[in-house]
Amino acid sequence: MELAIRTRRLTKRFRHHLALSELNLDVPTGMVFGYLGPNGAGKTTTIRLLAGLIRPTSGSAIVFGFDAADQYDALQRRIGYLPGDFAPYPDLTAAQYLRYFANLRGGVESAGVDRLAKRFELDVTVKIGTLSHGNRQKIGIIQAFMHEPDLLILDEPTAGLDPIMQREFLALLRETRDAGRTVFLSSHILAEVEAVADTVGILRRGELVTTQSVEALKAQARRRLELTFATTPPMDRIRQVPGVQDISSDGCTAHVVLTGSTAELVKAVAPYEVTNLVSHEADLESVFLDYYAAPR
């Protein structure tokens, strides 16, 4: 398994403030890794360390085998980076800005830039200073992707994008992953992470609280189901099903709160006549919020 990112005891201290503490993280190539955590948790700090923009106080950040802090030049072409506070020069047009950075980096096909601009419906002919926040963010996305880097390091990339553009952007991330490239993104939008990430890392006060597949997180999530039976619900039978947390009935309908798979429940009620089954979305948000809030 080739690693795109490997950090060992990666630590960053700003004066007396410990922004990131002994982070150990392995991100294999070909995946979307979602990096979550409350404000001030240290996400941007991690991202800037990975992009080689700041030096660790101690520990190491290795990207494709290179030290991010010391071998910046070797990595620059292989990384696409979108800062959280992306602010391109207001006096240039987007076309001028993108051409400038394309030339600086080299290896950028202008057809690819045009394709991205069209995809995100960006008018590249007007001055950046006159563009809306979301449209400026599109320039940041294009400059991160335009040289087809092996690793994208993106700090809250969808900030300011409207829902249609967000969806387009998530599609771009999936295509990138399917092409075997790697995406590391920080986000506050849980639905977006759930939709696109393979694995998530949750950071809290500079410490990694957990890394898990999105599937495993979903398995922890509580899900509400309503099962309507032809006669009185078999409450005792349902109560015995693994993962059932709570159960109540009203008439012929049983209301069930369940964690994990619904397979066992479905099996348990198979002998009874179920006339209707409603399954509500797993409440992933509460799982995230538990990790955000409680020390474990």
Ligand X SMILES: Nc1ncnc2c1ncn2[C@@H]1O[C@H](COP(=O)(O)OP(=O)(O)OP(=O)(O)O)[C@@H](O)[C@H]1O
Closest chain position to Mg ion (CB): 44
Q: CB of 44: closest distance to ligand X in angstroms?
A: 3
**Closer residue to ligand X, CB minimum distance, 124 or 141:** 141
- Alpha carbons 220 and 284: distance in angstroms, whole number: 8
The residue whose two tokens read 């694995």 is 199
CB 238 within 8 A of CB 218: no
**Closer residue to Mg ion, CB minimum distance, 167 or 188:** 188
Give the per-residue SS3 of the chain. Answer: CCEEEEEEEEEEEECCEEEEEEEEEEEECCCEEEEECCCCCCHHHHHHHHCCCCCCCEEEEEECCEECCCCHHHHHCCEEEECCCCCCCCCCEHHHHHHHHHHHHCCCCHHHHHHHHHHCCCCCCCEHHHCCHHHHHHHHHHHHHCCCCCEEEEECCCCCCCHHHHHHHHHHHHHHHHCCCEEEEECCCHHHHHHHCCEEEEEECCEEEEEEEHHHHHHHCEEEEEEEECCCCCHHHHHCCCCEEEEEEECCEEEEEEECCCHHHHHHHCCCCEEEEEECCCCHHHHHHHHHHCCC
Find which of ligand X, Mg ion, none residue 30 binds, CB within 5 to 8 Å per kind: none
Find which of Mg ion, ligand X, none residue 89 binds, CB within 5 to 8 Å per kind: none
**Closer residue to ligand X, CB minimum distance, 40 or 65:** 40
Residue ranges binding Mg ion (CB under 5 A): 43-44, 84
Q: CB of 111: closest distance to Mg ion in angstroms?
A: 33
Q: CB of 226: closest distance to ligand X in angstroms?
A: 37
Q: CB of 84: closest distance to Mg ion in angstroms?
A: 5
**Closer residue to ligand X, CB minimum distance, 54 or 274:** 54
Find which of ligand X, Mg ion, none residue 138 binds, CB within 5 to 8 Å per kind: none
Q: CB of 153: closest distance to ligand X in angstroms?
A: 13
Residue ranges binding ligand X (CB under 6 A): 14, 17, 19, 37, 39-45, 84
The residue whose two tokens read 């349902």 is 238
Find which of Mg ion, ligand X, none residue 149 binds, CB within 5 to 8 Å per kind: none
Find which of ligand X, Mg ion, none residue 14 binds, CB within 5 to 8 Å per kind: ligand X
**Closer residue to Mg ion, CB minimum distance, 23 or 117:** 23
**Closer residue to ligand X, CB minimum distance, 39 or 103:** 39
Q: CB of 137: closest distance to ligand X in angstroms?
A: 15
Q: CB of 127: closest distance to ligand X in angstroms?
A: 28
**Closer residue to ligand X, CB minimum distance, 42 or 201:** 42
- Alpha carbons 184 and 125: distance in angstroms, whole number: 30
Find which of Mg ion, ligand X, none residue 147 binds, CB within 5 to 8 Å per kind: none
